[in-house]
Each structure stands twice: as structure tokens, then as C-alpha cells.
Amino acid sequence: MNDRQRINEVLGLLMLQNNLLIQAGEACCTSCATHECTRDGLASGCEGYAYYHMQDAEAFDEQGTLRDVIHIGFGSLLNKEVGDDDVLIGHLVADRMRAAGFEVEWNGTYRERIGVRPRQ
């Protein structure tokens, strides 16, 4: 399994087990991804969302190997105000990425997306 498949698998499990809406390389930018994830996630009763967009996906090479840090966006759909609910989703994503063997760089706030580093 390559890095892209592994990251997509982590996101897929978050969708199945944690009721998150997932986008993997579909939207063009952060703004569109956030908009689409919020719209589609609320429409399907999801608790939150996580994504990387097309520009983020350039961190993968053609073989699906992660060559650069990829940033995973996230958010909660339970509360209109940004805050603790969002951070909980962030920790969920960060913990699962670590469990899958990736090193994570993230300041633990909703203001920063989660950086997933290439494996050594």
C-alpha cells in the first residue's frame, strides 16, 4: 500500500467509524473544500469532516509516495461556532494518522490544518 492509499484508508475509517464526511483530493482549494464539506456533511447528517484538496495532493508523487508535508483540513458540524468541537475532530484525525505510522505536525488548534509528514 502506498502513502496515498494509506492516508485515504485512515480517512475512510474516520468516515465509517466516526461519521465524518471525507474529501480526498476533490476540491480545488481550502475555501471550496470547506464549503463543500460543510454543505454535503450537513446534508448527510455527518458530525464533522476532513479533507485534503487538489493542491495538497501534489505532495504525492505519481507512485503515491508522500514527498512533502500534506495538510489535512477538518471541522465539526455539530456547532456553528468554531471552537472545542473542531479541535476534537482535529485530534481524532491526528491520532489516527500517527497510529498509521505518520509523523504529525499540528499546533492543536482549529486555526491550523494537520500536517502529515513523509515517512522516513
Question: How far apart are CB 36 and Zn ion at their closest, in Å?
Answer: 9
Nearer to Zn ion, 19 or 30 (CB): 30
Question: How far apart are CB 1 and Zn ion at their closest, in Å?
Answer: 29
Task: Determine contact, residues 6/118, Cβ cutoff 8 Å.
Answer: no
Nearer to Zn ion, 13 or 32 (CB): 32
Nearer to Zn ion, 3 or 56 (CB): 56
Instruction: Write out the DSSP string of 52-92.
Output: E-TTGGGGB-TTS-B-S-EEEEEEESS-SS-SHHHHHHHHH
Question: How far apart are CB 73 and Zn ion at their closest, in Å?
Answer: 12
- Rounded CA separation 84/103 (Å): 23
**Site for Zn ion, rule CB under 5 A:** 28-29, 32
Nearer to Zn ion, 32 or 104 (CB): 32
Task: Determine contact, residues 114/71, Cβ cutoff 8 Å.
Answer: yes
Question: How far apart are CB 28 and Zn ion at their closest, in Å?
Answer: 4
